[in-house]
Amino acid sequence: MDELASYFIESAGRSADARSLPLPFRLAIIGGDGLEHDVDIIPAEHEDAGGDGRWVVTVVPVALQASVSRSLEAEMAGAPRQRVKELLTEELAVDNMHYTSRWFLVDLTAPSGPTVTTARPQDAAMADAIAEQVAKHGWRPWGKARAGELATLQVDELPASLQPIAAEHRWRRIAATPVLVDGSLAAAYLLFGRVPDDYDVTEVNSNVLSRVRRLVDATALLIARWHDRDRLVAAATRDPLTGLANRDAFADALAECADEATLLYIDVDRFKRVNDRHGHEVGDRVLIEIARRIVAACRPNDVVARFGGDEFVVLLDGVGLEQGRQIGERIVEMVAAPNEDLADIAPVTVSVGLAPVVLRDDAVQAADTAMLRAKRDGRARLVTAEQP
């Protein structure tokens, strides 16, 4: 408050004949819930009351404005995607003695399945419950709403797991709206609100709908931007045939891996015969299937890359030689297993070289050399690099 008062005192100290209003500015205040709430301080006029100067200002909660500037500004400033999503759920949040509104963003485009974002920790239980209903039970309350509309629901229409949470917070106003990107459903918002007893929960006035549409439009814009960025990243770091990491992405991962790490160098045995006998289209199908099996044999966070042609590498970060050997042998076994879709092709096997990551560049060479020894020793096996 001292800083705020000083700001106006400095402006009031100018000549009465040439006084200018201070510029509007934004301030974060702490609400009764302990959270920060942004407000815009807009000076309106200066009054002289009995010789005492007094400023008249308008204080406008950002949440009540029609813009969605905070999330867009955060995106342009390079904020993490999750933080931008949290800000989106706060753009229309209201919290006063008569009304509350909580917004939950359901992202339906995440590779791992639908995710639900909310900004406030105390609403995490509802977010988790929504995520479970959407992902596991196919709950789609926004299906009744067209683009730009809010579909209202009654509390007794909620799944059973959501009803006690809504009752605990006295949320009676419930609505959902879809977010379309290029004509396809990409996300949705769920609104839960506390309203007075005489409030018609089925009513959606034009002012609210207008603000919701701005939020939906901004969300669609951001999701489209994120998708474009993801496609650019994928084009720069993924192998177009198999979807694995490419050499550049592997090099970046190798440079950043821990001191203890292991590298597998994998080469398909007699792959030229597959191309010569069945053609390159079948050869591509074989490579795609081998890539799938290598990934299935590895841990979720292991970096699997196509190094070129019929060669693959796997970076096992934080893994010693013994565990690396187990993973490498599992790859040899899984690749050699029969495949009904490729039953007309002779069994395909791989030779694998294993080396510890001591010096980054030397590890690739050492694993490659070990792989060549595996081929000379009869193929379809794993050989560990000779230790210096």
Q: Give, as one character, the DSSP assignment of residue 21.
A: P
Total count of domains within the chain: 3
Among 204, 236, 268, which residue terminates a domain?
236
Among 174, 202, 236, which residue terminates a domain?
236
d(CA 165, CA 213): 27
Do 78 and 205 fall into the same domain? yes
Of 151, 120, 113, the closest CA to residue 134 belongs to: 113
Residue 241 lies in a domain: no
Q: Can you read off the two tokens belonging to residue 338?
A: 């029969």
More confident residue, 270 or 24: 270
Q: How, if at all, do strands 382-384 and 350-356 pair?
A: parallel
Residue 228 lies in a domain: yes
In this prediction, residue 3 has a pLDDT band, given cuts at 50, 70 and 90, of: low
What pLDDT is attached to residue 151?
Answer: 92
Do 313 and 376 fall into the same domain? yes
Q: What is the pTM of this model?
A: 0.68
Do 267 and 376 fall into the same domain? yes
Do 96 and 155 fall into the same domain? yes
CATH code, domain carrying 148: 3.30.450.40
- Kindly tell me if the per-residue pLDDT of 9 is higher than 80: no
Do 141 and 103 fall into the same domain? yes
Do 231 and 82 fall into the same domain? yes
Range of the domain at 297: 247-384
* Mean pLDDT, range 154-165, rounded to an integer: 95
Q: pLDDT (tens digit, 9 = 90+) per residue, 166-180?
A: 999 999 999 999 999
Q: Are 140 and 200 in contact (CB under 8 A)?
A: no
Q: pLDDT (tens digit, 9 = 90+) per residue, 14-43?
A: 545 545 667 788 888 887 767 777 788 888
Among 15, 42, 64, which residue terminates a domain?
64
d(CA 87, CA 356): 44
d(CA 197, CA 16): 51
Q: Can you read off the two tokens belonging to residue 296?
A: 């299935």
* 3-class DSSP assignment, residue 244: coil
Residue 242 lies in a domain: no
What pLDDT is attached to residue 111?
Answer: 79
Do 142 and 49 fall into the same domain? no
Q: Give, as one character, the DSSP assignment of residue 319.
A: -
What pLDDT is attached to residue 92?
Answer: 87
Do 232 and 264 fall into the same domain? no
Do 219 and 264 fall into the same domain? no
Residue 263 lies in a domain: yes
* Rounded (10°) angle between helices 81-90 and 206-237: 170
Residue 353 lies in a domain: yes
d(CA 337, CA 368): 24
Q: How, if at all, do strands 52-61 and 151-153 pair?
A: unpaired
Do 203 and 265 fall into the same domain? no
Do 214 and 328 fall into the same domain? no
- Kindly tell me if the per-residue pLDDT of 79 is higher than 90: yes
Do 88 and 193 fall into the same domain? yes
What pLDDT is attached to residue 171?
Answer: 95
Q: Is 237 exposed, middle or buried (0-12, 13-18, 19+ CB in 10 A)?
A: middle
CATH code, domain carrying 351: 3.30.70.270
* Mean pLDDT, range 150-177, rounded to an integer: 94
Q: Can you read off the two tokens belonging to residue 357?
A: 């990551």
pLDDT, the chain, mean: 88
Within the chain, where are the H helices? 2-12, 69-76, 81-90, 124-137, 163-168, 206-237, 247-256, 271-278, 280-297, 321-336, 360-376
* Mean pLDDT, range 340-356, rounded to an integer: 85
